[in-house]
Structure 1
């Protein structure tokens, strides 16, 4: 036993540290790629597995499937957190990356709903559940593995590579989609080419396993195991360990709630906002997100390293406060640069809808009233509108008024679009001038910096917040509840708010509410001052690496 403890208390060599960071980060990139490719190809996923005459319902069903995967992340955190604290960090995240790769490839093999009917979306949801379980175990394992190899004074910097890898998975998903679109005709890509990015996960799985099999177990876990100090029931102890309920509450709302809603607003809301209501050319949108995401990855490393000097709390507080002040102005700026004609048309020719039972249900296949069906068309076209309680049916566009009661359903959408175009609305795909493209990328980078401030130091912070013997479970549970429900449901909730209000910017209020509450919790609950390892004055300090 003396030899074992001495072996794990030596300082890792630079080569060992590089391998730990590279293998953990690569696996994280591949696993998040697997998860994000579903969102990146949302429109095609909807057409293949959730077809509907209501375009808004179709995309909401896709986001609901996206949310289902996130909803099962906490269960994965409990399951794999238990295994990680009982059996070890290394083998647990070998299992998670394998499960994720197989589930993702499976999506690319499912026949469309036109071939097998309702079985298609059911199978997709089942595979999303497996992905959610896998991801629930992946992040905690990779973050802790790096944190427990890192010297304390560099823990924020070393673990920031894991945080940057989450963005890396998103960037890789876009890069693969762009490559496929370049090599495959638009018709073939829509028909079958979209499946290739899913099938590619088998190759990424092989690379990830090859790299991770070279790793040894975490020195902290080896020392705990040698000393007989591993937890008998990590899940139970996570909930009962002195002080842990408060730490879990702070980790859930003050850390994860903040970082995850800002992250998904920055990248997924930015993606859907530009593609959808702003009607920017899809390939151009992907290139802008690719460039912004690739550059933004470096921000996470800078913030992680900065947190080693100033502490973990300061970047999170600054990022959350800045997000509250800047989110709406940033998206207003993106909208003005991406499609200025839309804003001009909305001001010159505002849209007002009147009529009996003038209500729109985004989840209804067929709206209950003619007015609701007009609202469905306006929502699908991405134009803002207001509803007047006047019982007389009519669609007012600026000074012009049109009757819609007698329009056949199969031609209504085209007729409504024609009315709008007559009054100055332009529904062609937008390709902004270069200066506007640069401006949009710049604003996306600001969103990336807000995300980096609230995310870059989090792996180190969560590792330091909890005792080592229940660290995997204790940090994974609140992280994946927050990321799974507060963040994973963001596209669905924000999309529903936009559909109900007719305001392309209204979905941001969800992010504002979660971040506002999280800022209060973080201010109250996060420790001030320089970073420090977990210590509990009434408990025996956990085993941590001792570097001479």
Structure 2
């Protein structure tokens, strides 16, 4: 059977589930997916604490970079998990596969909380951490596609957007749950206790979530679409081959990647993750305050995912997604500018009124190569000029280049004061005298303005993220749907989206402006919006073809 002969086979209007059964299917799928996202995000939120326990203590910067490297590894292997578990899902069934993914994810997370310290076992501690992180990445690669396909293959075509929209909220909801647990644990002990061993508790608590997820999912039945294909002997003999080696399916995956999921990943990780880094590192707001702002804002904005998913059932999905991408491309720069103005007006004023000049040559002698950002011992990281640039950007301070003083590789000039070389304490004194604050002042912070911007940013994410699950389901035939849907999703969400915090930070340091890193998601969203507008098929035509096929 070739991919071109595949036909969609959904539950028709005469086979609709009752609303009670429908809610049971959606609840079981979303609960498990929510817990998996909690497991996945808990590592990123606690990487700074884990690095001091599981990595060599003699170089804290190298330890943090290594722990973030393990975080990145989890994103990179997600497409591999999509292929592996997608193949199993299309061969063995939706239920058994996404039951397996939740077991793998939950077990790896619990074990992370039990890892021995570097002090007790040496390098084995971080090796085990990396292995567990790779297992997590593989599991997440298979989880999303399984949950989305399972829900979509149970529900009516007319409610597909709405019901798969509940899967879409689980990523952000998992992040919120992660932040709530961390804040709760931190409130119950001293800072020293949390750094020493308290960070393990959020991982170990995942065992409770694992038991609940397995119990709920074990009670589910197989998807009716898969069961029907199996009874009619219409399953794909080799889903990987039929997905990647046939132009009809490969073309659809390329359309999905370049016309939707790459932009989805860019908007999601910019508006849900990079913004947290920006508020802490650039705006200089204290971590707990940032977490509270995020909790309130995302909780308010989260229903927009469901709203736009529901709306896509009525007006179509393509143009909602394209609109979200266009808004992201146009609005990210002014939105992040407003966040700086609202969160740290003194810093914004100093950047505007008393600009800093970096006295250095703006060429390769003052650049850290991309590889240096990955290896802390790289020679580029010891250049005084590179150290000065990183220091300024880490304080949220923009700079322009000026000619260096004779015999000096680097220096700064601000408000009539000039400092030769790089000395952190001297820089701090000169910058403080020029009005650059060390931290954001809570009294001058416009909290409601920040929350408003974050809610709008979440709604922009919802425009594309809400409808995209149902759209991907409709793009691929059921015989290879698990594999075909999962792979482009995790390229967009894992490789493109997961790289945004690192690349945006790198670009900001290289460019000398805290907003330079935003060009990465802006260019991606703009390009994907254009490609999607020109080439993505309208889902209403896909549904019409699907309905006609089912009728025959």
Pair 1:330-2:329 in alignment: no
Could you say which residue in structure 2 is the equivalent of 1:192?
Answer: 197
Matched position secondary structure for 2:442: coil
Equivalent of 1:294 in 271, 274, 299: 299
Could you say which residue in structure 2 is the equivalent of 1:35?
Answer: 40
Equivalent of 2:71 in 37, 48, 66: 66
Matched position secondary structure for 1:452: helix
Could you say which residue in structure 2 is the equivalent of 1:460?
Answer: 470
Could you say which residue in structure 2 is the equivalent of 1:474?
Answer: 484
Equivalent of 2:96 in 91, 96, 103: 91
Pair 1:320-2:325 in alignment: yes
Q: State the Cα deviation string for residues 298-346 of structure 1 (Å, max 9, x = none).
A: 1111111100001110210110111111111111001100111112122
Equivalent of 2:456 in 446, 450, 455: 446
State the Cα distance separating 1:243 from its structure 2 match: 2.2
State the Cα distance separating 1:174 from its structure 2 match: 1.1
Equivalent of 1:375 in 382, 389, 398: 389
State the Cα distance separating 1:118 from its structure 2 match: 3.7
State the Cα distance separating 1:229 from its structure 2 match: 0.6
Pair 1:311-2:316 in alignment: yes
CA–CA distance in 1 between the matches of 2:247 and 2:366? 55
Matched position secondary structure for 1:383: coil
Matched position secondary structure for 2:116: coil
Task: Note closer, same or farther for the CA distance 1:49–1:343 as it changes in structure 2 (3 Å cut).
Answer: farther
State the Cα distance separating 1:349 from its structure 2 match: 2.9
Matched position secondary structure for 1:401: strand
* Contact 1:174–1:290 (8 Å) recurs in 2: yes
State the Cα distance separating 1:235 from its structure 2 match: 0.8
CA–CA distance in 2 between the matches of 1:140 and 1:247? 16
Task: Note closer, same or farther for the CA distance 1:260–1:34 as it changes in structure 2 (3 Å cut).
Answer: same
* Contact 1:358–1:387 (8 Å) recurs in 2: no
Q: What TM-score do the two structures reach when normalised by structure 2? A: 0.90
* Contact 1:8–1:220 (8 Å) recurs in 2: no
State the Cα distance separating 1:389 from its structure 2 match: 4.0
Deviates more, 1:423-432 or 1:151-160: 423-432
Equivalent of 2:30 in 25, 31, 38: 25
Matched position secondary structure for 1:387: strand
Could you say which residue in structure 1 is the equivalent of 2:399?
Answer: 385
Pair 1:487-2:502 in alignment: no
Alignment of 1:219-368 (within 5 A): 219-241=224-246, 243-355=248-360, 357-360=365-368, 361-362=372-373, 363-365=375-377, 367-368=381-382
CA–CA distance in 1 between the matches of 2:72 and 2:544? 33
CA–CA distance in 2 between the matches of 1:423 and 1:54? 32
Instruction: Structure 1 unaligned segments of length 5 or more: list them.
Output: 406-411
Could you say which residue in structure 1 is the equivalent of 2:426?
Answer: 415
Equivalent of 2:112 in 102, 107, 115: 107
Task: Note closer, same or farther for the CA distance 1:485–1:526 as it changes in structure 2 (3 Å cut).
Answer: same
CA–CA distance in 2 between the matches of 1:48 and 1:417? 30
CA–CA distance in 2 between the matches of 1:388 and 1:116? 50
CA–CA distance in 2 between the matches of 1:196 and 1:213? 27
Pair 1:501-2:486 in alignment: no
Equivalent of 1:210 in 210, 215, 218: 215
* Contact 1:254–1:519 (8 Å) recurs in 2: yes
CA–CA distance in 2 between the matches of 1:51 and 1:455? 40
* Contact 1:466–1:474 (8 Å) recurs in 2: yes
Pair 1:165-2:170 in alignment: yes
Deviates more, 1:96-105 or 1:54-63: 54-63
CA–CA distance in 2 between the matches of 1:259 and 1:521? 13
* Contact 1:67–1:492 (8 Å) recurs in 2: no
Q: CA RMSD in A?
A: 2.6
State the Cα distance separating 1:368 from its structure 2 match: 3.8
Q: What TM-score do the two structures reach when normalised by structure 1? A: 0.90
* Contact 1:60–1:495 (8 Å) recurs in 2: no
CA–CA distance in 2 between the matches of 1:161 and 1:536? 23
CA–CA distance in 2 between the matches of 1:423 and 1:72? 47
State the Cα distance separating 1:190 from its structure 2 match: 2.1
Pair 1:514-2:524 in alignment: yes
* Contact 1:261–1:514 (8 Å) recurs in 2: yes
Matched position secondary structure for 2:169: helix
CA–CA distance in 1 between the matches of 2:384 and 2:106? 46
Equivalent of 1:427 in 438, 442, 447: 438
CA–CA distance in 2 between the matches of 1:168 and 1:202? 18
State the Cα distance separating 1:193 from its structure 2 match: 1.3
Q: State the Cα deviation string for residues 257-311 of structure 1 (Å, max 9, x = none).
A: 0111100000111111111111112111101111111122211111111000011
Task: Note closer, same or farther for the CA distance 1:255–1:372 as it changes in structure 2 (3 Å cut).
Answer: closer
Task: Note closer, same or farther for the CA distance 1:74–1:322 as it changes in structure 2 (3 Å cut).
Answer: same
Q: State the Cα deviation string for residues 31-58 of structure 1 (Å, max 9, x = none).
A: 0111111222343244444578887766
Task: Note closer, same or farther for the CA distance 1:34–1:6 as it changes in structure 2 (3 Å cut).
Answer: closer
Task: Note closer, same or farther for the CA distance 1:119–1:486 as it changes in structure 2 (3 Å cut).
Answer: same
Matched position secondary structure for 2:543: coil
CA–CA distance in 2 between the matches of 1:442 and 1:297? 13
CA–CA distance in 1 between the matches of 2:239 and 2:45? 36
CA–CA distance in 2 between the matches of 1:134 and 1:45? 21
State the Cα distance separating 1:535 from its structure 2 match: 4.1
CA–CA distance in 2 between the matches of 1:218 and 1:264? 31
Deviates more, 1:122-131 or 1:89-98: 122-131
CA–CA distance in 2 between the matches of 1:291 and 1:203? 25
* Contact 2:91–2:239 (8 Å) recurs in 1: yes
State the Cα distance separating 1:246 from its structure 2 match: 1.7
Task: Note closer, same or farther for the CA distance 1:311–1:51 as it changes in structure 2 (3 Å cut).
Answer: farther
Task: Note closer, same or farther for the CA distance 1:447–1:355 as it changes in structure 2 (3 Å cut).
Answer: closer
